Amino acid sequence: MTAWQSLTGNLPIKLLALALAVALWLMASEAKQVETDFSLPVVVRNRPPGLAVLSRIPPDVIVTVAGRKASLRQIRPERTPVNLDLKGLGEGTVAFGSMDKRLSLPPGVSVLRVYPSNIEVKLVRASRGGGR
């Protein structure tokens, strides 16, 4: 038996073994936990009438998450805003903390860090004049 014959002998079985090895490698690499950062937009909702937001609201928060690659690929920053609901609030300052609990993330994704971790919103009576 020549070297070529020993390489090509049982070719279908060898190709099947190679395909199974590649499939197993792909599954194992997808199952591995990875960390990544996302910049998620901050959206202020339900501003009470007659009140204005005086504080500077960051346009986004940086969220570090961990999970399988397939789960992390499901996250779409433009569809995953951090909502700050001002409904029912009056004049004064309110601190929105626990930013990780305000996120709607796919199953299997855990939040490691959020920056900033809290956002303060100062509401004041809106002035009626055109000037400052």
Tens of pLDDT, residue by residue over 32-90, are: 788 999 999 999 999 999 999 999 999 999 999 999 888 888 888 888 889 999 999 99
| pLDDT, mean over the chain | 86
Scan for tokens 């959020």, then name that residue: 114
Residue 45 main-chain phi, psi, to 5 deg: -120, 150
pLDDT score recorded for residue 85:
93
Q: Please report, for the chain, the start and end positions of each structural domain, with discontinuous segments joined by +.
A: 1-31, 32-125
Half-sphere exposure of 102 (CA within 13 A, CB side): 20
Q: Is residue 132 over pLDDT 50? A: no
What's CA 21's distance to the chain center, in Å? 32
> 2-29, pLDDT tens digit by residue?
777 777 778 888 888 989 999 888 777 6
Q: What fold does the segment set 32-125 form as a domain?
A: RNA Polymerase Alpha Subunit; Chain A, domain 2 (2.170.120)
Cβ pair 37, 62 in contact under 8 A = yes
Report the alpha-carbon distance of residue 21 to residue 131 in Å, rounded: 71
